[in-house]
Chains A and B, each alone.
Chain A
Amino acid sequence: DGGITQSPKYLFRKEGQNVTLSCEQNLNHDAMYWYRQDPGQGLRLIYYSQIVNDFQKGDIAEGYSVSREKKESFPLTVTSAQKNPTAFYLCASSLEGGRYGYTFGSGTRLTVV
């Protein structure tokens, strides 16, 4: 079955360390997205990519970086510059962006210890 796989489900990071969250899809979707979710704040867009080797900043890109070297993969790196990285991170993909909605992964919960 096609879908989006996020790994790991839980991730712990020491302050000052970079950490990379994985997102892989086999839906043949062109667009991929990263969202951050905090209680009571809904979903906030971090980065998105519409095609391979291209990506754009979302609303809260500071302290994060991404790459899109393959259509199937869109990893997110949370850098030490991110002041408050503890959150739930969701990856999504879409056939044509907003027109058809998104398919979401099951999320990664990142905790800074």
Chain B
Amino acid sequence: AQSVTQPDIHITVSEGASLELRCNYSYGATPYLFWYVQSPGQGLQLLLKYFSGDTLVQGIKGFEAEFKRSQSSFNLRKPSVHWSDAAEYFCAVGYGNKLVFGAGTILRVKS
């Protein structure tokens, strides 16, 4: 069955430090991959998506993600985290006409 694993439930980084959120997926075919961000009490906002082509994808708010087929991974990165980046982040894989979501990673930013 298709699945998405986000190994880290919580991550805390200092403001200005770099960030990497991990995502591994299980899917037989070429995946459609997404990262979403959710602020407390709000809906999810799309950060970036990968369909094909260049494996390094640029998104909004300075985020990027790299697709590595050999590792079945789609990790999210940001070179310098801002306090406003504190939120929950979800990785998702497109499966047929649905998305399968990971359990999410809560990012805390300390000043």
Binding site for B on A (CB under 8 A): 4, 6, 31, 33, 40-43, 45, 48, 50, 88, 90, 92, 94, 96-107, 109
Contact = CB atoms under 8 A, between A and B. Distances in A.
A42 B90 contact: yes
A31 B97 CA distance: 8
Nearest to A102: B99
Interface residues of B, number: 25
Interface stretch (B14-22, B37-45, B61-69, B77-85): B37-45
Contact of A40 (B9, B45, B101): B9
B43 A98 contact: no
Contacts of A33: 98
Given A98-B94, A99-B94, A104-B45, 8 more contacts: A4-B43, A43-B101, A48-B97, A90-B44, A97-B94, A99-B51, A101-B49, A107-B43
